Chain A
Amino acid sequence: MRSPVGPKPNRARSVFINCPFDPDYKPLLRGACFAIMACGYAPRCALDYNDSGVVRFIEIVTMITACDRSIHDISRVELDRRSSLPRFNMPLELGADLGLRLAGPQLQRRRKSLILDAEAHRYDQTLSDISGMDIEAHSNDAREIIRLVRDWLNANREDGAPPLPGAAAINDDHDAYQAIAADIVGNLRLDPHDDLPHADYLHVVAVALPLIEAARAGAVGVLPTR
């Protein structure tokens, strides 16, 4: 069977994620991706290019323009441990997105953006120019980021579309996924789950979501053979 590489998801169903790619943030990124996929959207981020997420700015902007929705996490305001300097990549990409929305081509002016921080109103000190926009605090909690992402996608779904699955259900299914993740990884003969590369994680979640739903409904089981 072929490798699970499909065509690029269409613009209306794509969500660009601008966030840190360090190990501390990984549970939050994975939670956000899980919620995005559970809501019927496709997450896109620099990790689509490589596992380090280090790509040229032009490629980032190209990816932003290919997604109608964006999530920007500006929570990494601490100084880098090695350089003792702040990192500006996330605010830069947020600025590119907002520039497209405010003054870009007509196609880009319908963009929807969710801005996340770890603490409420901290942006008043770090990035006060965005005051008045939709900014939510996730408290570095994966369950909270799942709720925020789901609620935002639900509030910005297409006209006439039915409500998305509830945040509690998605969080419970995420917990269920976490409970079986080690078995999935073991079945793939991989290292522990934290080392599952980003692209592989997305493909696994896409397959797992409907099966977890069925299993939680008690509709999957093992029957003895005759």
Chain B
Amino acid sequence: MALVGSGVTTGGQMLSRTPMSLILAGMSAAQPSTPKTGPRTAKVGSTYRGVRVQVTDGRSRFTLDQIKRAVETAVVKNANALAGRTKA
């Protein structure tokens, strides 16, 4: 089985299907700093419906890799239900 997905949007337009690993890799990349009024911005984040998700500075018991894997697996497992193709 191969995982595919695309959460990458630009200006509200969905791009072509992208391997999930590339989406997740992009979430670790440095983001352009949007807020201009503060001294520091979160460097880890991603985009949700056109807004950049801020990352908390609270300490987690898990690595980012563990969390990404856990979420990715759950999303893919429930992909049909989330897309409304089947009942959740």
Contact = CB atoms under 8 A, between A and B. Distances in A.
Q: Please indicate which of the listed interface residues B7, B36, B56, B62 has the most CB atoms of chain A within 10 Å of its own CB.
A: B56
Interface in B53-80: 53-80
Contact of B83 (A199, A210, A217): A217
B35 interface: yes
A137 B15 CA distance: 40
For chain A, the bracket of interface size reads: 35 or more
Contact of B7 (A11, A38, A185, A210): A210
For chain B, the bracket of interface size reads: 35 or more
Contacts of B68: 207
Contact of B54 (A4, A13, A211): A13
Interface stretch (A79-87, A97-105, A139-147, A175-183): A175-183
B83 A216 contact: yes
A1 B64 contact: yes
A133 interface: no
Contact of B43 (A6, A11, A38, A68): A6
A220 B37 contact: no
Given A207-B67, A215-B5, A183 B73 contact: yes
Contacts of A60: none
A158 B54 CA distance: 16
Nearest to A66: B38
B47 A203 contact: no
Contact of B60 (A4, A41, A179, A211): A4
Contacts of B36: 12
Interface string A189-218: 000000001111011101111111111111
Given A7-B43, A214-B7, A179 B14 contact: no
Interface of A: 1-13, 37-43, 48, 68, 158, 162, 164-165, 169, 176, 179-180, 183-185, 187-188, 197-200, 202-204, 206-225
